[in-house]
Structure 1
C-alpha cells in the first residue's frame, strides 16, 4: 500500500487484513495505492499496475482522495473471472462509502467485493 501516511497504524492493519482475506478468497493478488496520481489517472494506474510483481494475477485499486478519483485495474488472468460489470459494482460500493467519509471502510469493502466476484466457483460434483 502506498501513501500509508494517510492512515493510522490500525487503519493500515485493517486494509492489509482485507487484502490478505481477499487474496485467500480468490487466490489473486491485490494492491492498494492511496495518493495523488502523477498525470492522468487512468494511465498512471496502469503504469502502477505494470510495476507489480505479478500484474497478470493482480488487482490494483488506486484511490486519489483529494481528486475524488478511483481506478481499478485488473490483470489479464484476473479478467477471466472478474468482468467489467463486477468491477463497476465494487467501484460504486466504494464510492458510496467514500462519499460518506469512510475511506478505510470503502477500500476494505471494495477489495473484498472484488475478491468474492473473482472467486472461482467450487465444483460440487464431477461427472462420472
Structure 2
C-alpha cells in the first residue's frame, strides 16, 4: 500500500488490514495506491499494476482524492472471477463513501467488496463418472 495522503497510524493500519483481509478472502493479490497519480490516472494505475510481482493475480486500486480519480486494474487471472461490472459496483461504493467524507472507510469496504466478488466459485465433487 502506498499512502500519499496524510493518514493517522490507525487509518493506515485499517487500510493495511483491509488489504490483508481481501487477499485472504479471495486468494488474489491486492494493492492500494492512495496519492497523486502521475499524469493520466488510468495509465498510471496500469503502470503500477504491471510493476507488481504477480500482476496476473493482482488487483490494484488507485485513489487520487485531489484529482477525484479512482481506478481499479485487474490482472488476467484476477479477471476470471472479478468482472468489470463488479469492479464498477465497488468503485461506485467507494466513491459514495468518499463523497460522504469517509475516505478510509470507503476504501476499506471497497477492498472487501472486491475480494468477495473475486472469490473463486467452490466446486463440489460428489463422485466419479463411470463409463
TM-score range, shorter chain: over 0.9
1:50 corresponds to: 50
Deviation for aligned residue 1:50: 0.7
For the pair 1:73 / 2:73, whether they are aligned, the reply is yes
Per the normalisation by structure 1, the TM-score is: 0.95
Q: What is the RMSD of the two structures over their aligned residues, measured on CA atoms?
A: 1.2
SS at match of 2:62: strand
Instruction: Flag the structure with larger Rg.
Output: 2
| Cα distance in 2 for residues equivalent to 1:89 and 1:19 | 18
Residue ranges of structure 1 left out of the alignment (5+ in a row): none
Aligned residues: 128
Q: How does 1:5-84 map to 2 (within 5 A)?
A: 5-84=5-84
Per the normalisation by structure 2, the TM-score is: 0.93
User: Whose helix fraction is larger, Structure 1's or Structure 2's?
Assistant: 1
